[in-house]
Amino acid sequence: MSINKIGVIGAGLMGNGIAHAAVAAGFDVVLVDSFPDALPKALATITKNMDRQVAKGSLTAEAKDAALARLISSKDVSPLTDADLVIEAVPEILSIKEAIYKSLKDVLKPEAILASNTSSISITKLAALSGRPDKFVGLHFFNPVPMMKLLEITRGLATADTTYQAALALAGKLNKTAITANDAPGFIVNRILCMLLNEAIVALHEGVGTVESIDTGMKLGANHPMGPLELADFVGLETLLSIMKVFHAELGDKYRPSPLLIKYVDAGWYGRKTGRGFYDYASNPPRAAL
């Protein structure tokens, strides 16, 4: 099936990046978010990020205007009746995702594909909840979506070959490299990465090193472009905690979330998006907050 119109539900960190990448690749996109402030904020972010691309010369001003003209936003799912693909990027909470799928049941056309950007929840489980398991697939993008080259594709038990082939074709059109992961918690990348991020927080909590020494150690010692604490702040500490809880329940004790991570989330210190995590983003450049 050819994909022309894409719905993106959830206009947060990932949703605005997915919408940006999709309109830049020529798709018509409807960006949906039920929270009043989210849509203007997402549109401002997309515009700012495209302006940056124009300034760098990787996008022309005409292409930017054409891309933005392909983007519309909506507070509900009603404009998705003719969408060929809908990508859900709402928070990593099963009940929220389930409610979204329910609201789509009478809206989507029969042949439409539904995808989740989930980081850790079983695609087979989400596919069953969606009521369209053959047309359901995991499309796991990476942040920031317009820059990151990877798309991790996961089939649920009942995902049809045609759905999987459409996902592979989409990756090509978005200029992403696709890898296929089996439907196991965290797929390939997060299963490995989130354990590293959580372990950095455990090391900080146990006083093995400071924020700076842990991040500098992993940047210079393991050649990582970002330190794990900086990266955890970038991902969002509440998102990391949700993921670790799923891993802990499904993969066992080696994935137990750090008590310090739980404390930060309880405090509302979610990282970059709230201005405070392991770094304080009120200062420029951000400085270690401990």
Among the listed residues 49, 73, 117, 140, the single catalytic one is: 140
Q: What's the rounded Cα separation, in Å, for the pair 149 and 64?
A: 20
Closest CA to 90 of 109, 114, 107, 71: 114
Using rule CB under 6 A, residue 79 touches ligand NAI: no
CB of 11 to ligand NAI, least distance (A): 5
C-beta of residue 133 within 8 angstroms of C-beta of residue 158: yes
CB of 148 vs ligand NAI, minimal distance in Å: 9
Q: What is the pattern of x (binds ligand NAI, CB under 6 A) and - over residues 27-66?
A: -----xxxx--x----------------------------
Q: How far apart, in whole angstroms, are the C-alpha atoms of residue 225 and residue 208?
A: 21
Choose which of 6, 11, 71, 194 interacts with ligand NAI (CB under 6 A): 11
**Site residues (CB under 6 A) for ligand NAI, limited to 134-193:** 140-143
Please indicate whether residue 190 is annotated as part of the active site: yes
Residues touching ligand NAI, count (CB under 6 A): 28
**Which position among 170, 239, 241, 264 is part of the footprint of ligand NAI (CB under 6 A)?**
239
User: 112, 101, 59, 95: which is closest to 77 by C-alpha?
Assistant: 101
Please identify which residue in 6, 8, 13, 139 interacts with ligand NAI, judged by CB under 6 A: 13
Selected catalytic residue, list 16, 88, 92, 152: 152
What does residue 99 show for φ and ψ, rounded to 5 degrees?
-65, -40
Q: Is 80 in the site for ligand NAI (CB under 6 A)?
A: no
Quote the DSSP letter at residue 145: T
Angle at 185 between CA 188 and CA 181, to 5 degrees: 35
- Point out the catalytic residue in the list 49, 73, 116, 119: 119
The answer to the question of residue 257 lying near ligand NAI (CB under 6 A) is no
Pairing of strands 287-288, 150-155: unpaired
Q: How far apart are CA 200 and CA 257, in angstroms?
A: 11
Return the active site residues.
Answer: 119, 140, 152, 190
